[in-house]
Structures are given as C-alpha cells and as structure tokens.
Structure 1
Amino acid sequence: MESGTKTAYNGTRATDRGAKGAYKGTSTRAIVHQYDYLGDFYQLLLGERLVYSYGMWEDGDTLEKAQLRKLDHHAEAARATGAARVLDVGCGYGSLLQRLVEDHGVKHAVGLNMSPTQTAWARDQNWPGCEVRVENWFDHRPEAPYDAIIAIEAVEHFAGNTLWRSKRVARYRQFFERSHAWLRPGGRMSIQANAWDDRGWLPSLVLPPAGHRRPGAAALYDGARNVWEGWQASRKVYPETCLPTLSELNEASSGLFRLIETRRDPQDGVATVTAWTQRAEANRQRGAGLIGAKAVSDVISEQRTALRFLREGRFTLIRLVLERL
C-alpha cells in the first residue's frame, strides 16, 4: 500500500507477519481504515492537539485540558522528564512527542506509528528532537537504549482479534520482552489501555455487570445485543483489534517488569467519549462530506456503544506503571 493512500477496510483479514511468519498484530490495511480513512472525521472531534485516546479529567475541564493532563501523567509516571531518549509506541499525531520535548525536557523522543497520514502530519510539524517512524513495534531496532517507554491505547492492536487467551498473552509477552530489551535497567513504562472486565471478553459482553440484576429473558436479550453491537463496532470502526484484560497484561509482563501502579479510570473514558460524541453529532454533515454519511453513522454508533459499555462496567480504562527488572 502506498503511503498516503486512504481506503475503507473491506472486511477481509490481512494480518501483517514478520520473520518466519511471526504475527505482528493489526494489519496495515485495518490501521489505515481506522486512523487514515475514518481519521478524516476524527480530526473534527479530537481538539487542537489531535489526541486520539481518553483524557484524564478533573471537574470543570475541557477536553483539551483533560488531554494535556493525561500526557503529563504518562510523562511523569514513566519518569521521562529530562530523559535523553523516550519511545512512544503508537504515537498518533505526535501530541505526546511534542509535549515531551517542549514541556518535559526530553532530548530525543521517538514515535512509532503504522498510519501514514498521522505520521506525515506529525513530521510536517518539524518539532525539534522528535523522530516519527512508520513502523510496527515488532520491527523496531533502537539505536540506543531508552530511558522510558510510553504506550497509550496501543496494546489493543497487539493481539489482533484472536479469541484465545493464551495466544493473546503470548503476543503481549513479545511486546514486553522487546520493551525490556530496549529499556535501560530501572527504566519505566507507562501504559494506558481499554480493558475488558476481569472475567474476559465474552462474559463481559454477555453476563450482567456486578450489581446489575436482570430477569432471564432480558439478560439474554442484553447479551445478544452486546455481542452484535460489539461485533459491528469491530467490523466497521476498529477491525482486527482486541481489548486485553488486566490479568493478561500482568501475566505477560511477569518476570520482566515490576508493577509500580495500577489505576482503573472508567470515568475518564465516559467523559472523553461523551465529548467526542457531542462533537461528532455537531460535525455530522461536515463528516459526511469527508467519509460519507454511512461511515459517520458507524462511528457515532460505536461511540454510543462504547459509552454504554463503560457506564455498565463491561470494559474499563486501565493505566499501568511498570519498572524494568
């Protein structure tokens, strides 16, 4: 696929593979659909810094303030302030890279991204000290060790949409092994991810959340509806992605990293998706001119589903701080 090409995902699975057929996560085709094709619409929703992940909210915040607080949180959690080299896995439009070099004194910030459009945009900003690569983390070979690694809502792409827990853990393990090799001793990682309830993806969708009681027929209807809406969102908006569970990430990083901090912040997801949905509705007509009315409706439908799932506790937002052993 040529750099800059934008096309809708056609529903066929086309996973990228590395050496000896090793699985490399969400395919380039699916990434381009989500971040380049649909990204033309998302740029109307995300705010001036184009941050495509959940913010960290306090009372009275705007979306922009919540996003800056989130970026600063990860920089500080990873102990990146004043660092010589920091890696951002899944750097998007580069908002964290900019924040690291301009506000946290990082000398060289490297961002990995599989989206040609986002990468081109970030490069065009010419931020001093920032290097943005169109590169899968699987293929990354750093020139020198990193002092810190940050991955904000990138883990969801590492295991594709495999249904089997053991395969997901093995793929997350590969990422943690690579990160361990890239980091200097004692270096830290800060991770943010959407994560299923600890019961796993299917029970999270089908079973009533804790504290929610529904009659048998209603519970069956809810479960079927959730599976259908989740599948539709995966097929139309987030192809070839899968949310981890906290236990999967803990198991995958065991023996390589010490867990320093775990946060569950579902309300940050609720507040961010609410803001995005409001902006999406306000920009429905403009968005239709960019990607078509049907694609805009698919995005808004997915956002409403995500908002409901977050409010019901079916999935959550987790933030982890890990230290290299």
Structure 2
Amino acid sequence: MATVVHGAKKGSSYKGTSSKAILHQYDFLGDFYRLFLGPELVFSYGMWEEGDTLESAQNRKLDYHAEAAHAVGADRVLDVGCGYGSLLHRLVTVHHVKHAVGITMSPGQATWARDQHWPRCEVRAENWFDHKPDGPYDAIIAIEVIEHCAGNTVWRAKRVARYREFFQHCHSWLRPGGRLSVQANAWNERGWLASLVLPPQQLAPHGSGGTRERLGLKDILGGIKNVREGLHASRKVYPECFLPTRDELIDASCGLFRIVEAHTDPDDGVATVRSWLEKAEANRVRGAELIGEDAVSDIIREQKTALRFLREGRFTVFRMVFEKV
C-alpha cells in the first residue's frame, strides 16, 4: 500500500520553491489541471510519435525515463517531484521495480497518490532538500523538477550553485554507477534574456548561420511583450520558478556525473501544450467554478505563451541522462 511520510522542517536556508508557491501551483490551480491532463494526471511534456494520443505520449515518456535511468527491474527507484504518482505506478506495474519512492511538496498530490493504494509505492510529502532515504537508490528520475531549484534569481552563478545542490543530493542517494534521468523546460542556449527579447531568427545556435542584424522597433516591442508575458506567468502560474539552460546543468553536474545522453525535443512540448490547451478551453466553465475565471484565464494565457515560445525556439524540452562517477 502507498504511504505518505511528512518531512520535518529544517533551518531557514534556501530550499527551492516554497511550500506556499507549491500549494498555489499544484493544489489550488491543480483543481483545474486535473480536468485536462489526461487519465494518468501527468503534468509534464510527453514524447510524441505520429498517431499518438496524450495518454500514449505520456506513457512513452515515462517508459523512456525508466529505461534511460536503468530502472527496469531495479530494487529501489526514486521519483523526485512525483506529482500524482503516475511514474511510480508504472515503475512497479510495467517495469518490475521492487520499491518505488516518490517525493512531492504538494499535500494534495501526495494524498491522491496514497489513496490509490498502489503496492510497493511509497509517497513522501516533503522537500527533496530534506529527503533521507532508507537506503541507496539504483536509479533516480526527475521530470520537470529542476525548474523549482533556483528560484527567480537572474544571476547565472547563483542558479548553477543551486542546481549543483540538487546534483549533490542525487549523487549521495545513488549507488555507484547509478543513473539520474532528467527532463526540463530549458531556455534557448543563448540564455534567458536573449530567449525573451530576441526575434526568432536570431535565436539560432551560435555558428549555425543565424542572422544577427540590429533589432528594429517591431523586434523591441515584441521583446517587451515577451518579458511581460514571462512576468505574468511567474507571478500568476509558476511563482518562484526559473528555467535552466543546458550549459547550466552541465556545469552544475561536473565532477559528480558523466552525461550519457542529451537531446532537445521542442516538438514534444508543442504537441503536449496544444493538447492541454484544447482541453483547457473545453473545460473553461467548469474550471471557473473550481478556481475562478481569473485563475483559469491566467493558465490559458500562460499555455498560449508557452506554445508560441516553443514554436519560436525561445525554450525547449531538454532530456539528459547522467551516470554517477
């Protein structure tokens, strides 16, 4: 039977996204999300192939991370940011994991997962900073969690230091040679500011021949709009969150892990958000009854912006597999 263990509070040092912000994102707004996330309640981008439904794309994504982390048939696997527990359930029922542990800061998500009474699953309602495993893990999976690790700081060095804390924790929890599979929303490699303010034609990777002409008035006004939309999302939908870049994660993991796989999949983000947005619009009236029209409008506005940003190459879906050294 799934159990919930509550982590104790410790100290006052920075520990990522606050409990207050998590309650807003996943418990309050979550009442609306559950109307359009699909039957597995997976709140992250799927892996799409032609003919997929949202459900099949999400299951493919879960299976990918289980296999990439070498979790199949493992004794102990940790899911950091387990959400409603869809990966935990799939690990034990499809991938023959003997004991799957999930941690989430959302009391609502933890309670929902516990109430499913899945065998060999343990759900802990705690901050990962406070996680004390009962033993080493064979594999760790962290799907769209790193965005919660750095807060809203604009300073790269501080973000990398906070990401490194995450990698240090994972390193200490893993057996020798254990793997960590990460999925993240990530800014274009040119950095968060350029990702917001530059026109799409200037966001091409360095050395790829992308144009670097001077910005015109239309470009400047577009950049201002993008900053405004980003600030709206960070205030109303994802408070205390910040996207990394690929290089920031590479720097943060240096000396702790070697990278065995890394790729970007923006089309997966486009297909997932498009599906969510269609279902969100269809459930707008019911959503307003649950969380209010303003909150529903904030979510739909953020999703429309995310869809545009993904299509314009401002941010992407990044997947990396790390092996402990």
The amino acid across from 1:73 in the alignment is Y
Contact 2:147 2:184 in 1 (8 A): yes
Q: Which of 161, 164, 170 is the aligned partner of 1:170?
A: 161
Task: Establish whether residue 317 from structure 1 lines up as the match of residue 317 from structure 2.
Answer: yes
Task: Establish whether residue 131 from structure 1 lines up as the match of residue 122 from structure 2.
Answer: yes
| Structure 1 residue aligned with 2:224 | 224
The amino acid across from 1:38 in the alignment is L
Deviations 1:191-242 (A, max 9, x none): 0000001111111101123457796000000100000001001100000100
**Which runs of 5 or more structure 1 residues have no equivalent in the other structure?**
1-16
| Structure 2 residue aligned with 1:304 | 304
Distance 2:26 2:263 in 1: 27
| Structure 1 residue aligned with 2:108 | 117
**With structure 2 as the length reference, what TM-score do the two structures score?**
0.93
Post-superposition offset of 1:162: 1.1
Task: Establish whether residue 22 from structure 1 lines up as the match of residue 13 from structure 2.
Answer: yes
Contact 1:86 1:110 in 2 (8 A): yes
The amino acid across from 2:282 in the alignment is A
Task: Establish whether residue 83 from structure 1 lines up as the match of residue 67 from structure 2.
Answer: no
Deviations 1:261-298 (A, max 9, x none): 00100000000000000000000001010001111111
Contact 2:10 2:130 in 1 (8 A): no
What pairs with 1:34-113 in structure 2 (closer than 5 Å)? 34-113=25-104
Contact 2:16 2:148 in 1 (8 A): yes
SS at match of 2:251: helix
Runs of 4+ in 1 over 2 A off after TM superposition: 17-22, 209-215
Distance 1:173 1:43 in 2: 32
Distance 1:208 1:321 in 2: 31
Post-superposition offset of 1:136: 0.7
| Structure 1 residue aligned with 2:4 | none
**With structure 1 as the length reference, what TM-score do the two structures score?**
0.93
Contact 1:83 1:107 in 2 (8 A): yes
Distance 1:139 1:162 in 2: 22
Q: Which of 152, 166, 173 is the aligned partner of 1:182?
A: 173
Contact 1:208 1:214 in 2 (8 A): no
The amino acid across from 2:118 in the alignment is W
| Structure 2 residue aligned with 1:8 | none
| Structure 1 residue aligned with 2:251 | 251
The amino acid across from 1:240 in the alignment is E
The amino acid across from 2:31 in the alignment is D
Q: Which of 138, 142, 149 is the aligned partner of 2:140?
A: 149
Distance 1:288 1:110 in 2: 34
**Which runs of 5 or more structure 2 residues have no equivalent in the other structure?**
1-7, 204-212
Contact 1:18 1:24 in 2 (8 A): no
Contact 1:156 1:243 in 2 (8 A): yes
Q: Which moved more, 1:212-221 or 1:232-241?
A: 212-221
SS at match of 2:200: coil
Post-superposition offset of 1:19: 5.1
